Each structure stands twice: as C-alpha cells, then as structure tokens.
Amino acid sequence: MSPTEEIKSRLDIIDVISEYFPLKPAGANWRARCPFHEERTPSFMVSKAKQIWHCFGCGEGGDIFGFIMKQEGLEFPDALRLLADKAGVQIKFEDPAIRSERQRMFNLLEAAVSFWSEVLWQERAAETARRYFMEERKLKPETIRAWRLGYALDSWEALINHLVKLGYKEEEMIKSGVAVRKMETRGRSAYDRFRNRLMFPIANTQGQVIGATGRILSASATEAKYVNTPETLLYHKGQVLYGLDKAKAAIKQQNLAIVVEGNMDAIASHEADVANVVASSGTALTVEQVRLLKRFTDNLAFAFDADAAGESATWRGLATVLSEGCQVSLISLPLRPDGKRFKDPDECIRANPKLWLEAIAKAEPMLEHYFRRAATEYDLTKLEDKQRVTKLILPLIGRLPDQVAMSHYLKKLANLVEVQERYLREALERQPSAGGGSVQRAANAVPAASAPVKDSRWAQSERLLAGLIAAPAQMGYAAAVTTPEMISPEYAALYREMVVFFTEQGGNDKIDWLGQEFAAYLNKNAANGVSPEQLSVLALLADKEFSDFTPLEIERELLSSVNRLKRGHLRVILQKLENDIRSIEQSPAKDEDRLASLFKEFQTVSAELAKMDNNKNSNRK
Ligand SMILES: [Zn+2]
C-alpha cells in the first residue's frame, strides 16, 4: 500500500473535516456551509462511503488531501506530512537520492544568502549598496534583515570560494543557479552568476530559499538591470510569487491579495504595514501563480506601474486571472504634488504611506476600471479608437465565468462604442477559447441575453442526472424525451451510457445507478470516457437536492429540468439556423432552395419553442 492509500485507510474524512467545522447528516452523506465560498444554504457535501467532498456552490471538491491543501493553504507534500502525523503513518519522502540533492541545494542557497547578507553589512566594498537600501530606498535595517537583502561583490569567484570552503562542489553551485559554467579550462570550472548586484532572495511558500534576483547597482548600458536564477530543480519562474511566504497569513486573514510589479514595491508595502502584498516580478501572471494565490483568497487587487491601459505584459496576464474565476480589482496610483502620477507603489509609499492605503481602499473592479479609462483616455468619436477599446475590453468580458456579469458588461460596452450588442456577442462567440474553458462554455450556452446562472445547461444536466439516481423509476421517461445532445458536454457521455445500460436491461425501472452492476458496465466500456468520479459527485448532489423529496416531487423536478434542457437545445438550434440563413443570404450565389428549407425548419423549431414557452408561462400562473 502506498503512504497515501494507507493514510486514507486509517483516517475518516468525516472526522478530519469535523475538526474544522460541524457536519450535519443529509441522506447517506453529510453537509455543511462551504468554507471556500460565501453562502447561506449549505452546498458542501461529504461522502463517507466514497471519502470525498464536493461543493455544488463553487465547484471545489476532492479527497482528504485536497481538503487539507485548500483549508490549510498547503502544498501536497506538506498536506501529506500533516495527515501522516494524524494517521500515525511513517513516510519516506521521495527518492532518497533526489531528496538529498534537493536538501543540499536548499542548504547551498541558504549559505549563499547568508554570505550576501554578511557582505552587505560587513564589507567596506558594500558601502554604495548599503546607502542604496537605506538612503535611496529609505528601508529600515530590520526590513533589510527580514527580507534577507544582500550584496554580491564585484568579483568572479567571491561566492564560489566561500561555498568551496563549506564543502560544496562547483557542479552543485551551477545546478543551484548561483554559478555559471566557464568555457576555458584553466582554474575553476565556474564563475559567480551575480557580481556587483543588490541581492533579493526568492523563497517558496514555506519560506525556503529557492533562488535569487540580482539588481544592478549603477545604471549600465551593457548589463541587464535584473539577473535571475535560471530554472533549476527548485526554482521555476512561473510558479513563485515574490514575498508570498511573508504575505500568505495576511492574505488569508484579509481575504485579499495585492499584486505589485516590483520586488521593492512589495518590500516597501510590508514595511508600511500592508502585508497582504506579493510581487509578480514584472512579468505576466501565469495560471500556476494565480492558483497559488487562490489557495489563500479569490480576491486579487493589482497595482501596476503607471502605463497606458493594456500595453504592458503584466496587463495582458490579467485575462488569465479572470478565467480562473477570481474577483479582480485594480489599484490606481495617486497623483504626485507635481501633478504626475507616482510611477510605482514604492515611490508612492516613500512619499506618504497613507496615500498607498487610500489607493487600496479605492480599488475598482477591473472592468469598471477599463471602462472608465476607455471613456477618458480614448477619443470614442473616432472609429479606430472604438476598435482599440473593443479589442481591449471584449476578450476580458469573454473570460468572465458568470453569464450575468458577461451580459451586463456586453451591454455596457455596446453603449460605450455605440455598436449593437448582438454584433459584440457574435464577435465574442467567434473568439478562440485559448487558455480557458469559460469562453467555450459561454458560446455553447443558450444565447438568451439574460439567462439566469441557475438556468445553465450544465446545472440542469447535473440536476437531471442526480434526480435519476434518486428516482430510478423516472429513467424511462427521461430516455424517451431527452437525447444526449441536450445534455451539457460534461455529462453527455455519462447520460449516453445510462440510456444504453437502461435499454440493455430491458427498461428496468429499479436500476441502482451507484451499484456494482452499473459500475462493472462502465468499467467494461471505459473507452467511452465516463469517469466513475462523476457518479460519486452526482450521488452527493442527489442527497443534497432530493433526500427530503417524495417520489412525486422528484418527478416534477425532473420534468422541469427536462423542459429547460429541451428549450435550451431548441434555442441553440435556432441560433445555428439563423447563422446559416444569414451566411447564405450574404453569399454571392444565393442557394434559394436551401434557403427555403432552412426557413421552413426555422419556423417549425420556433413554433415548438413558442409552444414550450407558453406551457411554461401557463404552468406558472
Ligand atoms: Zn463552495
């Protein structure tokens, strides 16, 4: 048995979660209000039988390890350690050879950082560096020590000589990123990567040093302003955020992470007692970095350097953040006494820390910010400015995971650039969905302008399938009126298998969808791409939604889900017919016969839809 399996066999997920908050029984399962999103009615379900949890409000879910990672804000190895202690399981971490290599790298980097720090405080040659930190940047000595800032001497082998004395090999220094391999063969085989530079150690979330950034001390035309550790066994540029180890507690406590561009901005902010701040180090935020932050909060505020909207790399990274489902706001730096804008948070804080606090308090939701700047910084009477604004804002709207918000901002953009909303909507649907599923989902969804979120095809499909698990007698009805095409892509394959199994069983209306036989059937037909975990999640939903319902009530609920799915499906067909008709009408050689048959089909489908809508309205009365 692997350590994770052994831990799972010894611990009960109900006990572990109950240590954090109380769970109440719901059918065969347990439920609570979700700790990971705000809600009034409980959507957080835990299955004792399957040892999994799932929240039907925010979509988070997983096993006991996933819960601890999310709840405690830990990476997997640390969650493993925590649960191993709880379970009394002994674990050997990783391959001993790799483990000792990693450990030696951590130790080596630790020694390098101590060396740079000692040099900064002790060496006469570090006088300029000390003056830079304390006089130019006005940092307090305790801040410099807390962030372990240092100075790399203007030498080719000062650090190497020091590390050799401590017993490290040059090969190890190269692998750790502090030394560079030398081409000529005389003398040492490597030289110091960082020379005459101000040193900023980079730590992982636990505070272990994994790399460093070296900033040039005096402006130079030939040397880069910043030199970074290259990718190593420990350091992966796109997966760390500068200062997160020091900011994570404050981020969790305030449920907000502020992202700045420069390392100095983060340090200055912490010194001003605004500690929920990390630095992106001047590059576009990656998905991994956003997910790292999401362990601590879903609310991100960005304070980027003064810049024309949307023109730097950092701004472009914002689209990623939106599609990860974060609430994003933007902090605008205030104006200086001379009327120009502060160039970065560091400059603003050094002038007056109160201005920084005020700027944070005035953060605007991201799209509001874009709209305000578009209205003031562009000349919207000009066609090309309208196009630029649309190009800037429309893709961001497409990344919103929420239909209501998407609809709201589409209207707003349509008004701003004076274009009909439906053209924007069409442009949005034509957009490739690179890097995010939300655009895809939006395009597949019912094209009604203000479809409520709950009405989404995905939620209705999930509800229908959960209802069938709770009331197997309804399978015959569902199979007769619902085709797999009506079901959302997430659940279409599972539904198809359910229909096939039901048919093979000769229309048996007592199928236990969670039982051995259907599981064996799915197993045998694994190639059809249905994952058994989907059934476990649906079983939880069945308990959550239907455990207090009578069979008749469940039947009524299923009828309503089927109708909604069918109406949604008809609207998608109508939309497609409309597009086909338009493109034929616009083509030079109009195919009149085809056009006539499309029109006929359009009329049939819209009559059917109208009939369903009427029924729906009369049912409501
Ligand atoms: Zn939730």
Same domain flag for 76 and 135: no
Position 350 scores a pLDDT of: 92
Give 61's contacts (C-beta < 8 A, 6+ positions apart).
Answer: 52, 53, 54, 55, 537
| Higher-confidence position of 535 and 179 | 179
Tell me, in angstroms, the distance from the centre of ligand 1 to residue 602's CA.
41
The residue among 584, 583, 600 whose CA lies nearest residue 592 is 584
Tell me, in angstroms, the distance from the centre of ligand 1 to residue 44's CA.
6
Position 310 scores a pLDDT of: 45
Range in 16-20, 143-147, 522-526 with the lowest mean pLDDT: 522-526
Tell me, in angstroms, the distance from the centre of ligand 1 to residue 55's CA.
5
Position 307 scores a pLDDT of: 57
Position 436 scores a pLDDT of: 35
Same domain flag for 472 and 515: yes
Same domain flag for 436 and 470: no
Average pLDDT rounded to a whole number, residues 552-560:
87
Strand partners, 277: 258
Tell me, in angstroms, the distance from the centre of ligand 1 to residue 61's CA.
9
Tell me, in angstroms, the distance from the centre of ligand 1 to residue 400's CA.
18
Residue 492 lies in a domain: yes
The predicted-structure confidence for 528-552, as pLDDT tens digits, reads as follows: 778 777 888 888 888 888 877 888 8
Tell me, in angstroms, the distance from the centre of ligand 1 to residue 324's CA.
15
- Whether 29 and 56 have beta carbons less than 8 Å apart is answered as no
Tell me, in angstroms, the distance from the centre of ligand 1 to residue 540's CA.
14
Question: In the structure encoding, which two tokens stand for residue 571, read together?
Answer: 């609207």
pLDDT at 476 over 80: yes
Tell me, in angstroms, the distance from the centre of ligand 1 to residue 66's CA.
13
Average pLDDT rounded to a whole number, residues 392-399:
83
Range in 19-28, 74-83, 91-100 with the lowest mean pLDDT: 91-100
Give 132's contacts (C-beta < 8 A, 6+ positions apart).
Answer: 198, 217
Position 149 scores a pLDDT of: 98
Residue 468 lies in a domain: yes
Tell me, in angstroms, the distance from the centre of ligand 1 to residue 33's CA.
8
Residue 302 lies in a domain: yes
Which domain-ending residue is among 303, 330, 363? 363
Residue 248 lies in a domain: yes
Which domain-ending residue is among 363, 395, 427? 363
pLDDT at 294 over 60: yes
Tell me, in angstroms, the distance from the centre of ligand 1 to residue 577's CA.
38
Residue 146 lies in a domain: yes
pLDDT at 125 over 50: yes
The rounded mean pLDDT for the chain is 84
Residue 369 lies in a domain: no
What share of the chain in percent tops pLDDT 90? 34
Same domain flag for 74 and 170: no
Tell me, in angstroms, the distance from the centre of ligand 1 to residue 42's CA.
9
Tell me, in angstroms, the distance from the centre of ligand 1 to residue 29's CA.
17
The predicted-structure confidence for 320-374, as pLDDT tens digits, reads as follows: 677 677 888 889 889 888 888 888 899 999 999 999 999 999 998 888 888 888 8
Q: How far apart are CA 50 and CA 288, in angstroms?
A: 29
Tell me, in angstroms, the distance from the centre of ligand 1 to residue 39's CA.
8
Same domain flag for 49 and 195: no
Average pLDDT rounded to a whole number, residues 104-126:
95
β-pairing verdict for 179-181 and 150-152: unpaired
pLDDT at 262 over 80: yes
The residue among 54, 63, 103, 98 whose CA lies nearest residue 83 is 63
Same domain flag for 75 and 192: no
CATH of the domain at 325: 3.40.1360.10
CATH of the domain at 205: 3.90.980.10
CATH of the domain at 517: 1.10.860
Same domain flag for 57 and 101: no
Same domain flag for 29 and 65: yes
| Higher-confidence position of 136 and 96 | 136
Tell me, in angstroms, the distance from the centre of ligand 1 to residue 32's CA.
10
Residue 373 lies in a domain: no
Same domain flag for 304 and 195: no
Residue 405 lies in a domain: yes
Tell me, in angstroms, the distance from the centre of ligand 1 to residue 2's CA.
30
Tell me, in angstroms, the distance from the centre of ligand 1 to residue 354's CA.
36
Output the CA torsion 585→591→597→602 (10° steps): -10
CB atoms under 10 Å from CB of 536, counted, come to 17
Tell me, in angstroms, the distance from the centre of ligand 1 to residue 36's CA.
5
Backbone φ and ψ of 210, nearest 5°:
-120, -10
In this prediction, residue 112 has a pLDDT band, given cuts at 50, 70 and 90, of: very high
Tell me, in angstroms, the distance from the centre of ligand 1 to residue 21's CA.
14
Position 313 scores a pLDDT of: 53
Position 67 scores a pLDDT of: 94
Q: At CA 609, angle to CA 608 and CA 612, rounded to 5?
A: 90
Average pLDDT rounded to a whole number, residues 22-45:
87
Question: Hey, what amino acid is at 180?
Answer: V
Same domain flag for 475 and 616: yes
Tell me, in angstroms, the distance from the centre of ligand 1 to residue 52's CA.
14
Same domain flag for 101 and 79: no
What share of the chain in percent tops pLDDT 70? 90
The predicted-structure confidence for 148-172, as pLDDT tens digits, reads as follows: 999 999 999 999 999 999 999 999 9
Which domain-ending residue is among 215, 235, 255? 235
Q: How far apart are CA 39 and CA 43, in angstroms?
A: 8
Helices (H) and strands (E) counted in the chain, each on its own, are: 28, 16
Domain holding 38, by residue range, is 3-87
The predicted-structure confidence for 429-470, as pLDDT tens digits, reads as follows: 766 543 333 333 333 333 322 223 334 788 889 889 999 999
Residue 59 CA from chain centroid, whole number: 13
3-class SS of residue 526: helix
Q: For the chain, how many structural domains are there in total? A: 5
Tell me, in angstroms, the distance from the centre of ligand 1 to residue 204's CA.
27
The predicted-structure confidence for 558-597, as pLDDT tens digits, reads as follows: 988 898 898 888 888 888 888 888 888 888 877 888 888 8
Average pLDDT rounded to a whole number, residues 396-405:
80
The predicted-structure confidence for 200-244, as pLDDT tens digits, reads as follows: 999 998 889 999 999 998 877 688 888 999 988 889 888 899 999
CATH of the domain at 79: 3.90.580.10
Tell me, in angstroms, the distance from the centre of ligand 1 to residue 398's CA.
23
Same domain flag for 218 and 250: no
| Higher-confidence position of 284 and 97 | 284
In this prediction, residue 102 has a pLDDT band, given cuts at 50, 70 and 90, of: confident
